[in-house]
Amino acid sequence: MTYRGSCFCGDVEFTVTGAPAGMGYCHCSSCRVWSASPINGFTLWPIDAVQIVKGELATFNKSERSYRKWCQRCGGHVMTEHPHWKLIDVYAGVMPDFPFQPGVHVNYAERVLSVKDGLPKFKDVPTEMGGTGETIPE
């Protein structure tokens, strides 16, 4: 399956192909500040599953773990590359037809908004992603 997405103004368009490696919500302070919201909906894809088909994204990296990408015209945030995981987080909100089905909350210890949805709430991230794997009750 292939899904299309774009930045806010449409100057940048992309496709994602296949199935994401994971989906969920991130509560870390970096995602909150970058997305200007209390929670960021993420979809993680293998790097080769994401293709820019129109336009060009600018990049900023506060650390070597996250390369945040946005449209230079409208400033619309589109994705974050995580080279250490070999994954790209394409923000769920920029793919209008993608069937977003979150499975976890990560970095829940940093939350500013509590969510009671029955999904696992990881203190940081699962062990397979380098975290403690600890969960927090809703």
Domains and CATH numbers, the chain: 2-129 (3.90.1590.10)
Please name every residue paired with 16 in a beta bridge, in sequence order, or none if there are none: 3, 50
Specify the amino acid at residue 86. K
Segment 21-36 shows an average pLDDT of 95
Please provide the DSSP assignment of 51-105 as one string: EEEES-EEEEEEETTEEEEEETTT--EEEEEETTTTEEEEEGGG-TT------EE
Q: Average pLDDT for residues 26-34, to the nearest whole number?
A: 95
Structure confidence by residue, pLDDT tens digits, 84-108: 999 999 999 999 999 999 999 999 9
Look at residues 93, 99, 137, 76 and name the one whose alpha carbon lies nearest to residue 1: 99
pLDDT tens, 38-61? 999 999 999 999 999 999 999 999
Rg (CA), the chain: 14
